[in-house]
Amino acid sequence: MSTLPLQQTRGFWFSEWAFPIFVATLASGIFAGTHLYYVYHIGAFNDIAIVAMLEAGIKGGSYGAAAAFGASFLFARVLEGPLVGILDIGGSLQTGIGIGVPALMLGAGITAPLTSFPLALLTGAVLGYAIGAVIILIRKFTINSSQSTFGADIMMGAGNAAGRYLGPLIIISAIMASIPVGIGATIGGGIFYHYKKPVAGGAIIGAMILGAIFPIAAQ
């Protein structure tokens, strides 16, 4: 039970609708940083190795590597965020919004958001708000009002190499949450294991699907 006063838990900082605004603000600055790099070759909010993939596209005209790398991180972190309760800014925004989306735009011949600073701010804000809204919607349709996170509360850092060992723990925790969620996690983990993919990812997606169909009743 929270010890915070009721009026505090209902304030702006605890409201769900404020989250997309925060994400929009962060994404706006990050996308504008990529604009600065595209125009002035300085200012990107990423590791040097990741920016190098975008630079290779700018010089060589092929943005496939940067687009695939950035977009895959963005997709994975958007799925992870609602369950873990923490959005990985490095993977979702800095890499996804800062590198993946610009690479996709440049590959499609869309340069205006990266050559105009005001448009870069606006583009980043719109993308960030959309990401924040999607995360809130996923959270509502999976976790709902339940206190359980379908086993994802132990998944901190699963994007790292150590995450491969957390698959069985996630499945066990999902089973403890409810039988349908546990079945979904087991099936998802089994499918991913068969195709030599990270078991943790399959367990989470399976738990999300059956958790949405058979939500856990609020305590």
Instruction: Give the pLDDT of residue 214.
Output: 82
Rounded to whole angstroms, how far apart are CA atoms 172 and 112? 49
Last residue of a domain, one of 142, 172, 200: 142
State pLDDT tens for residues 104-125.
Answer: 999 999 999 999 999 999 999 9
Same domain, residue pair 14 and 96: yes
Last residue of a domain, one of 88, 123, 142: 142
Same domain, residue pair 200 and 109: no
Last residue of a domain, one of 91, 122, 142: 142
Rounded to whole angstroms, how far apart are CA atoms 207 and 188? 8
Instruction: Give the pLDDT of residue 186.
Output: 92
Low-confidence ranges of the chain (pLDDT < 50): 1-2, 6, 145, 147-160, 162, 219
Same domain, residue pair 14 and 115: yes
Helices 64-84 and 117-142 meet at what angle, rounded to 10?
A: 40
Look up the domain containing 56 and give its range: 6-142
User: And the tokens for 31?
Assistant: 């996308």
Same domain, residue pair 126 and 37: yes
Give me the residue label for tokens 């006063």.
Answer: 5
Instruction: Give the pLDDT of residue 128.
Output: 92
Instruction: Give the pLDDT of residue 165.
Output: 61
Instruction: Give the pLDDT of residue 148.
Output: 47
Same domain, residue pair 89 and 66: yes
Contact between 144 and 216 (Cβ < 8 Å): yes
Rounded to whole angstroms, how far apart are CA atoms 193 and 111? 41
Same domain, residue pair 119 and 86: yes
Instruction: Give the pLDDT of residue 187.
Output: 93
Is position 35 within any domain? Answer: yes
Instruction: Give the pLDDT of residue 119.
Output: 96
Same domain, residue pair 84 and 117: yes
Same domain, residue pair 106 and 60: yes
Same domain, residue pair 22 and 88: yes
Same domain, residue pair 183 and 136: no
Instruction: Give the pLDDT of residue 126.
Output: 96
Instruction: Give the pLDDT of residue 99.
Output: 92
Burial class (CB within 10 angstroms; exposed 0-12, middle 13-18, buried 19+) of 114 = buried
Same domain, residue pair 185 and 85: no
Task: State how many domains the chain has.
Answer: 2
Same domain, residue pair 121 and 178: no
Instruction: Give the pLDDT of residue 45.
Output: 87
Q: pTM of this prediction?
A: 0.64
Alpha carbon distances (Å) from 218 to 76, 77, 99, 154, 212: 27, 26, 40, 21, 14
Instruction: Give the pLDDT of residue 157.
Output: 43
Instruction: Give the pLDDT of residue 211.
Output: 81
